[in-house]
Structure 1
Amino acid sequence: MNFSVMSVLVSLVMIFCGLSGFVSYHKHLLNSLLSLEFMMLGIFWLLGLELTNVGGEIYFSLFFLVLVVCEGSLGLSLLVLIVRSHGSDYFKSFNVLEC
């Protein structure tokens, strides 16, 4: 196989592994965030490969990376807020009626 085809397949496997981890561990917030970040890493790798093949602007991939970092920091701040208020990051311990 060609190196670029192999790289595309590896990035697609990363995306689908992250998606399967997100679906199977949806009750635990930290595992969900890690699965989302793994998916974003695979998408970033695929985007970088495609932009270098096309010869497009590499600044778009940097913009995507900035958005991924902002999403990760927002997720971690929500995780800290939930752990401080509820004591755990399991979704089954949350009560909707609590203030």
Structure 2
Amino acid sequence: MVILKLSSVFIPVIMVFCGLWVFTSKCKHLLNTLLSLEFIMLGIFFVMGVSISYLGQEVYFVLFFLSMVACEGALGLSLLVSIVRTHGNDYYNSFSILQC
């Protein structure tokens, strides 16, 4: 029982830190950055779900957070499609402030 409680606390924290590490490392593609942001949000969602279930509170805020994360993901993918259509790829090196 204690191992289950410890794993439910440490796994989401490890998820968030792994997502932050990938986000801050030298990524060449915009898609990798967007996927790491979604992984961070999934870890935060997991932390919120576990903490609210331990407290015995309502889960409306968690559902609101999940809907905001889904909207953020859709917005990120639409920006990715727009950038790929205008620039031809999603490399960071090919972007210029003067072109946008």
- Describe the shift of the 1:34–1:18 C-alpha distance in structure 2 as closer, same or farther (beyond 3 A): same
1: CA distance between counterparts of 2:90 and 2:78?
12
CA RMSD of superposed structures (Å): 1.2
What is the number of equivalent residue pairs in this alignment? Answer: 99
AA of the residue aligned to 1:32: T
Spell out, residue by residue over 1:27-83, the C-alpha distance to the aligned partner (whole angstroms, 9 max, x if none).
320000000011111110110000000011111100000000000000000000000
Deviation at 1:98, TM superposition (A): 2.0
User: Hey, which bits of structure 1, 4+ residues long, moved more than 3 A?
Assistant: none
Structure 1 position 61 matched with structure 2 position 62: yes
The answer to whether the 8 Å contact 1:21/1:32 transfers is yes
* Range with bigger deviation, 64-73 or 3-12: 3-12
1: CA distance between counterparts of 2:82 and 2:95?
13
For structure 1, which runs of at least 5 residues remain unmatched after alignment? none
* Range with bigger deviation, 17-26 or 77-86: 17-26
Normalising by structure 2, what TM-score? 0.93
For structure 2, which runs of at least 5 residues remain unmatched after alignment? none
1: CA distance between counterparts of 2:5 and 2:28?
36
Alignment map for 1:9-20 (pairs within 5 Å): 9-20=10-21
Normalising by structure 1, what TM-score? 0.93
